[in-house]
Amino acid sequence: MCKPTTLSKIVCAVLVVGMWMGCKEDHDLVFKSQGTFKHLTVPAQATPSVLRSEPTVGLQIVDTLIVGFNPNWAPYSMLTAENRIAGFEIEIVEQVAKRVGLQVRFEPALFARTIADLKVGRIHVSTGVSKTPDRQKIFQFARSYGRFDRVVFVNADRDDIGGSDARQVIESLQGKKLGVLAFGVELEVMRTLGIELVETSNLKRCLELLLMRQLDACSTVREVGDYFTKEHGLAVKKIDVVLTSHPYATAFSPMVSAEFIERYNAAREELEAEGAIDQLRARWFGEEQEGR
């Protein structure tokens, strides 16, 4: 049993959360949770009526696959400075769609809007969605092909946040302000651990607040944080200890047929077998990311 010390309370909370999220399947994880996402500058409260909309029954994909994506999730998906759609996930979808004989129409939006549109069939798929038990009750998913590992970033001159494992990092965040991205299930998880959370609409805003010393740390997916901080040359450092980890995959509207999802999975697995996915991983993430 855990004794009532501050650290043991944290450990107990983490273990309880891990059991709740199915951590028994991944013993090396501290806990698993649904990821948070960066968003466009659309108010977070702008979608409740959409979430209540009735779904389109019997959605048919004729000649064009409509794909929702987060334009602020580099290197997975992005809009470049030239307003070009790019990213690891974007290229995979393009190649899969070509193999199943479809054109692609990409629809950039904040994550809440994408999920709402996916639910009612306004789009067919969404790239890179965390595959959690709750979401699998609503959406269909392709087979998982990676994980989102979440870490924290701090100002380069901070030495009071960190540790060699997740428990130490969580303890070092006690009483401090941690920026998190809105709409993530781990918001509820982190609130049980004695950390003051500040919800932000995207990573850019989170890091702005960090650099202004209004936050003590920012939480995001490791590769997304690495890409953004290097791209902008920010004076921040990564605490490279995974606090949350979960599988991600392409999510499908509940109205998309199981037969189409199998075709999609088969096409993607062909690309994997041919080495095309590894080539994309190496190009977007570097050699160390291959096979993750």
Q: What is the pLDDT of residues 168-191, one digit of tens each?
A: 999 999 999 999 987 766 676 677
What is the model's pLDDT at position 13? 42
Question: With 50 as the cut, is the pLDDT of residue 4 above it?
Answer: no
Q: Mean per-residue pLDDT for 220-245?
A: 94
What is the model's pLDDT at position 184? 67
What is the model's pLDDT at position 43? 28
Q: Mean per-residue pLDDT for 47-59?
A: 43
What is the model's pLDDT at position 287? 60
Question: With 80 as the cut, is the pLDDT of residue 59 above it?
Answer: no
pTM: 0.75
Return mean pLDDT, the chain.
Answer: 80
Name the pairing type of β-strands 217-221 and 146-155: antiparallel
Question: With 60 as the cut, is the pLDDT of residue 147 above it?
Answer: yes
- Residue 98 to residue 201: CA distance in whole angstroms: 34
C-alpha distances in Å from residue 130, one per residue of 37, 141, 274: 10, 10, 26
Domains and CATH numbers, the chain: 6-38+148-246 (3.40.190.10), 44-146+248-289 (3.40.190.10)
Q: Mean per-residue pLDDT for 89-117?
A: 94
What is the model's pLDDT at position 27? 26
- Residue 31 to residue 27: CA distance in whole angstroms: 9
DSSP class of 164: S
Question: With 60 as the cut, is the pLDDT of residue 24 above it?
Answer: no
For residue 288, how many other CB atoms are within 10 A of its CB?
9
Structure tokens at 179: 């920026």
